[in-house]
């Protein structure tokens, strides 16, 4: 097409020169008429093409070059004011030609002049795709445990005997009273009360005996009573009355004492759960109760309550201290020893407790679940299960434009940003499976592996707060390799670590799990991810936030994940979001609080371009119908925040490309178009979003975005695209004109006076005007006096010379 344009321009110049020569001879009126007709036809062709008619491109090129050649010759041949007039018309003609050329580039359906555009972006191809894994990392590591679909039947535990007698005396509890003041105060008060009650009870029994037999209880020994019977001192009836009365009162006394022992037992149970008891002596109290009453099933519930309260009594802030961690471990182990001593009768209450708390993930649950498996062979169905590895097609930051040069390539700063994003991505590589990270020695890494083979001993809890971050990091990395859902509490703990690399490895680990039953539980994984995005905003945590976003791809509720992604893309702005104000409708107060904090922090510190770019991969992995709407919202936010909207110059002029973020979004939208074309039943939501943004772009007079969205529409549904063009032909024409004027008016305002100035300086300043020649062979130019010598005027060359006027001197006749 370029050669066609050059050849057409040369032919038009030749034709205009030929017609110009013919006008100098006879019949110039007819020649002028022919030329006028040709100019009129050329002008009509250009106007028709500008108004939307589809003419042959070569015919349009011929019309344009013919008019340009005519105006060029007239400009060169005209005088000063003629040059200004014809020069201005030439600029207007070029303006129209530029409009016709550039408008063939939009709406990008047919581009007959595409060969002239040396900076066209390359479409996506298979060579641009590379596979990247974002979940199930590291590859090649099998899950450490299988996940049962249902708990193993526990059977019916034996019913404890109803006649269990409590044999607890004050001498037994005296050692406990000596160690803890609160225990001492409670038990002393109880003992004084029981002594008073016992005295009153004995006095009452004695009174009953006196009233019945005439003597106090056991006033004499029973053998003496028999002697009195043999001596005849008492009758046999009275003898039997005395024995029966004493027997009944003894029974009542024994029942009362048993009741007091039972009362003491219940007080001891209450002391187990009493938080005023010093924690250093709580373990001794637990062991005391387990040793004496392990056969009493009533001890199970207090122990369960104690275990449930462990995480609230020893939150993470306390467990970070070695002293508090030691107390926590002692108490936890004492409770587990109690469960083991109680045995089978305590199994079913434990399983019921785990079923009740299955919707919650707590730090102490990991050890309890392992205890149930090791001691009773019972495995509770976990709330989370391992996910299959997820891979996406990575084509972001591809080389979309010709190589960077003076006359080709993307914008310089955007090309630098593209290379920077590529370099940062190479630094965020996932370590190899089975190998220690962060420079930890292989022997130390083997200790971590051995600890899990032994079944979560106390050493694992110590590793969580180890002073060496390499130990904590390798613990997180090994948890990622195991893919054991029972270790999720440890992973959540490591996601809050003080070292950014440990948090990154923990974020990799948490992405390997997905909630199984979404309807019956809150997804704590989602909450912890949002908290990581909120709490760790430094550059050192960039990679950790990226893997946290990767983990959103495996969140159970996709709407929540999409909402967070929309917030990340748009720096916390929820206006015009396709997700709406979703957070207030969530039931979990923790989730709502975390998301609200994310909205506030993103408004103050927007997310980095690298993190946003990687978040696009999460959208690709989720395969949601709302993805297109989120992408268009993000694209609009990019244009508003960078003040750089799409323009047709992007396809014509080098270094006028979009921001790199927008280029990536455009590629993702195009990639999703191919996926939706293969599944047309899912096209409804994307087409709805495209129509909405097309209407918004037209209403806000954003022509560049209008044609970009129109291009997207053509990629998603060609029939919908054709129907839209047919129904809104006037809109498209107006947008074409508006886009061209907005993109080029600055250039033409500068080019018009500058081109006239250059033309006048070259022709008059350097003496190169075709009308005049220098008389001195290069000296000052002479201007012929046309009034004094009309023959010098070229316009009078064909006319007969006028009669010469000879001046005659008339003298006076005097000599």
Residue with tokens 């600890």: 451
Q: Name the residue among 325, 269, 312 with its Cα closest to residue 292.
A: 269
Asked if residue 636 and residue 551 are part of one domain, the reply reads no
Please report whether residue 295 resides in a domain.
no
CA distances from 339 to 266, 304, 350 (A): 19, 9, 9
- 491 and 437 in a single domain? The answer is yes
Q: What is the rounded average pLDDT of the residues 42-69?
A: 82
Q: Using only C-alpha atoms, what is the Rg of the chain? A: 48
- Residue 394, SS3 per DSSP: strand
Q: Which residue has the tokens 């993000």?
A: 634
pTM check: above 0.85:
no
Give the residue among 573, 528, 516, 483 at the shortest CA–CA distance from 362. 528
**Structural contact between residues 544 and 500, judged by C-beta atoms closer than 8 angstroms:** yes
Q: Verify that 544 and 467 share a domain, yes or no.
A: yes
Q: How far apart are CA 720 and CA 714, in angstroms?
A: 7
**What is the rounded average pLDDT of the residues 382-401?**
93
Element (H, E) at 314: none
Per-residue pLDDT at 778? 42
* 596 and 705 assigned to the same domain: no
pLDDT score at 775: 41
What is the pLDDT confidence band of residue 5, given thresholds at 50, 70 and 90? Answer: low
Asked whether residue 671 falls in the same domain as residue 534, the answer is: no
Give the residue-averaged pLDDT of 173-183. Answer: 79
Task: For residue 547, give the DSSP letter.
Answer: H
Q: Count other Cβ atoms within 10 Å, centred on residue 7.
A: 12
Q: What is the pLDDT of residues 514-534, one digit of tens each?
A: 998 766 557 899 999 999 999
Give the mean model confidence (pLDDT) for residues 143-172.
51
Say which DSSP state 405 is in.
Answer: B
In the chain the first and final C-alpha atoms are separated, in Å, by 86
Of residues 106 and 641, more confidence is placed in: 641
Is the residue at 491 inside a domain?
Answer: yes
Residues 620 and 633 in one domain: no
494-518 per-position pLDDT tens digit? 999 999 999 999 999 999 999 987 6
Closest CA to 732 of 758, 745, 746, 713: 713
User: How would DSSP label each residue in 147-208?
Assistant: --SSPPP---PPPPPTT------HHHHHHHHHH-HHHHHHHHHHHHHHHHHHHHHHHHHHHH
Number of domains in the chain: 3
Is 396 a domain residue?
Answer: yes
In a domain, 29, yes or no: yes
- Does residue 462 fall inside a structural domain? yes
Q: Do 141 and 74 share a structural domain?
A: no
Q: Both tokens of residue 530? A: 């949002």
Q: Are residues 33 and 10 in the same domain?
A: yes
Q: What is the mean pLDDT of residues 18-37?
A: 68
Question: Using CA atoms, how far apart are residues 470 and 441, in angstroms rounded to an integer?
Answer: 9
From 324-333, 446-455, 563-572, 575-584, the region with the lowest mean pLDDT: 575-584
In a domain, 551, yes or no: yes
**pLDDT confidence of 781, banded at 50, 70, 90?**
very low
404 shares its domain with 518: yes
- In this predicted model, what pLDDT tens digit does every residue of 707-716 receive, in sequence order? 889 889 999 9
pLDDT band at 244 (very low <50, low <70, confident <90, very high): confident
**The pLDDT of residue 785:** 54
Distance CA 236, CA 242 (A): 10
What confidence score (pLDDT) does residue 110 get?
43
The pLDDT value given to residue 621: 95
- For residue 391, give every residue at least 6 positions away whose Cβ sits within 8 Å of its Cβ, in sequence order, or none: 131, 132, 133, 134
Whether 297 is in a domain gets the answer no
Which residues lie below 8 Å from residue 165, measured CB to CB, with a gap of 6+? 258
Same domain, 678 and 553: no
The Cα–Cα gap between 550 and 90 comes to 58
Q: Is the pLDDT of residue 670 over 90?
A: yes
Pairing of strands 130-135, 384-386: unpaired
Pick from 354, 307, 309: which is nearest to 335 by CA? 307
Euclidean distance between CA atoms 145 and 482, whole angstroms: 8
- 620 and 635 housed in the same domain: no
Residue 112 lies in a domain: yes
How many other C-beta atoms lie within 10 A of the C-beta of residue 380?
Answer: 22
Amino acid 535: pLDDT: 95
Is it the case that residue 26 has pLDDT exceeding 60?
Answer: no
DSSP string computed for 723-772:
HHHHHTHHHHHHHHHHHHHHHHHHHHHHHHHHHHHHHHIIIIITT--TT-
- pLDDT classification of 142: cutoffs 50, 70, 90: low
Distances (CA, A) of 428 to 431, 495, 569: 9, 17, 20
Q: Largest Cα–Cα distance in the chain?
A: 217
Q: Within 10 Å of residue 618's Cβ, how many Cβ atoms? A: 26
Tell me the pairing of strands 130-135 and 390-394. Answer: antiparallel
Best-predicted range by mean pLDDT among 180-184, 608-612, 768-772, 776-780? 608-612
Q: Using an 8 Å Cβ cutoff, are 644 and 657 in contact? A: no
Q: What is the pLDDT of residue 340?
A: 94
Computed over every residue of the chain, the mean pLDDT equals 83
Q: Are 459 and 563 contained in the same domain? A: yes
Mean pLDDT in residue range 448-471: 93
Quote the domain boundaries for residue 496.
131-147+382-603+616-624
Q: What is the pLDDT of residues 542-591, one digit of tens each?
A: 999 999 999 999 998 888 899 999 999 999 987 766 666 666 567 788 88
Peptide bond into 519 cis (omega under 30): no
Q: What are phi and psi of 396, to 5 degrees?
A: -70, 150
């Amino acid at each position: 097409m370029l050669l066609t344009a050059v050849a057409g321009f040369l032919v038009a110049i030749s034709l205009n020169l030929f017609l110009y020569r013919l006008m100098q001879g006879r019949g110039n009126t007819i020649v002028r008429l022919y030329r006028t007709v040709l100019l009129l036809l050329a002008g009509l062709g250009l106007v028709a093409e500008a108004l939307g008619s589809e003419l042959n491109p070569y015919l349009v090129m011929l019309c344009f070059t013919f008019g340009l050649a005519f105006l060029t010759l007239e400009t060169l041949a005209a005088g000063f004011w003629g040059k200004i007039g014809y020069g201005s018309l030439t600029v207007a003609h070029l303006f129209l030609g530029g409009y016709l050329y550039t408008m063939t580039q939009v709406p990008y359906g047919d581009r007959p002049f595409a060969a002239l555009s040396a900076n066209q972006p390359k479409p996506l191809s298979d060579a641009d795709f590379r596979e990247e894994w974002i979940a199930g990392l590291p590859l090649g590591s099998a899950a450490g445990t299988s996940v049962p679909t249902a708990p193993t039947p526990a059977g019916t535990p034996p019913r404890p005997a109803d006649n269990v007698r409590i044999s607890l005396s004050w001498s037994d509890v005296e050692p406990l009273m000596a160690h803890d003041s609160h225990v001492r105060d409670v038990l002393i008060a109880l003992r004084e009360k029981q002594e008073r009650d016992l005295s009153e009870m004995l006095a009452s029994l004695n009174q009953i005996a006196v009233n019945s037999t005439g003597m106090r209880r056991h006033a004499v020994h029973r053998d003496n009573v028999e002697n009195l019977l043999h001596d005849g001192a008492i009758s046999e009836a009275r003898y039997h009355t005395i024995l029966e009365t004493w027997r009944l009162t003894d029974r009542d006394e024994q029942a009362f004492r048993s009741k007091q022992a039972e009362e003491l037992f219940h007080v001891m149970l209450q002391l187990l759960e009493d938080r005023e008891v010093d924690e250093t002596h709580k373990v001794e109290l637990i062991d005391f109760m387990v040793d004496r009453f392990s056969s009493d099933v009533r001890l199970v519930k207090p122990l369960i309550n104690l275990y449930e309260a462990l995480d609230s009594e020893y939150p993470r802030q306390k467990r970070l201290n070695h002293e508090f961690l030691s107390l926590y471990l002692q108490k936890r182990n004492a409770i587990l020893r109690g469960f083991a001593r109680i045995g089978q009768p305590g199994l079913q209450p434990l399983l019921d407790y785990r079923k009740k708390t299955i919707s919650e993930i707590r730090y102490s649950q990991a050890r309890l679940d392992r205890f149930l498996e090791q001691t009773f062979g019972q495995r509770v169905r976990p709330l989370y299960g391992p996910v299959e590895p997820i891979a996406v097609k990575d084509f972001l930051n591809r080389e979309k434009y010709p190589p960077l040069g003076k006359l080709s390539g993307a914008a310089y700063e955007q090309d630098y940003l593209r290379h920077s994003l590529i370099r940062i991505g190479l630094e965020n590589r996932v370590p190899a499976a089975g190998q220690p990270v962060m420079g930890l020695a292989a022997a130390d890494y083997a200790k971590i592996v051995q600890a899990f083979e032994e079944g979560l001993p106390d050493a694992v809890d110590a590793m969580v707060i180890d002073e060496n971050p390499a130990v904590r990091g390798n613990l997180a990395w090994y948890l990622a390799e195991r893919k054991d859902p029972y270790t999720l509490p440890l992973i959540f703990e490591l996601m809050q670590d003080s070292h950014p690399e440990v948090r990154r490895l923990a974020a990799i680990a948490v992405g390997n799990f997905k909630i199984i039953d979404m309807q019956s539980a809150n997804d704590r994984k989602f909450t912890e991810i949002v908290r990581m995005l909120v709490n760790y905003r430094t550059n050192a945590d960039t990679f950790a936030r990226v893997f946290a976003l990767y983990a959103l791809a495996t969140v159970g509720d996709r709407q929540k994940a999409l909402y967070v992604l929309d917030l990340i893309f748009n720096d916390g702005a929820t206006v015009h979001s396709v997700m709406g104000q979703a957070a207030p409708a969530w039931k979990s107060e923790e989730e709502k609080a975390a998301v609200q904090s994310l909205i506030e922090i993103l408004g103050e510190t927007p997310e980095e371009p690298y993190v946003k770019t990687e978040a696009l991969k999460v959208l690709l992995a989720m395969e949601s119908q709302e993805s297109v709407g989120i992408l268009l919202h993000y694209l609009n936010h990019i244009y508003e925040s960078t003040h750089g909207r799409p323009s047709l110059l992007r396809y014509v002029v080098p270094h006028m490309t979009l921001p790199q973020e927008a280029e990536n979004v455009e590629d993702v939208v195009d990639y999703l178009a191919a996926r939706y074309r293969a599944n047309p039943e899912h096209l409804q939501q994307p087409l709805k979003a495209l129509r909405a943004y097309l209407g918004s772009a037209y209403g806000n007079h954003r022509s560049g975005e209008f044609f970009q969205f129109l291009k997207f529409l053509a990629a998603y549904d060609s029939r919908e695209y054709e129907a839209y063009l047919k129904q809104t032909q006037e809109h498209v024409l107006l947008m074409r004109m508006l886009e061209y004027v907005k993109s080029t008016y600055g250039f033409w305002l500068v080019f018009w006076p500058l081109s006239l100035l250059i033309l006048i300086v070259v022709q008059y300043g350097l003496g190169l005007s075709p009308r005049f020649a220098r008389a001195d062979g290069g000296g000052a130019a002479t201007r012929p006096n046309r009034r004094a010598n009309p023959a010098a005027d070229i316009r009078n060359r064909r006319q007969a010379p006028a009669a010469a006027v000879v001046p005659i001197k008339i003298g006076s006749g005097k000599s």
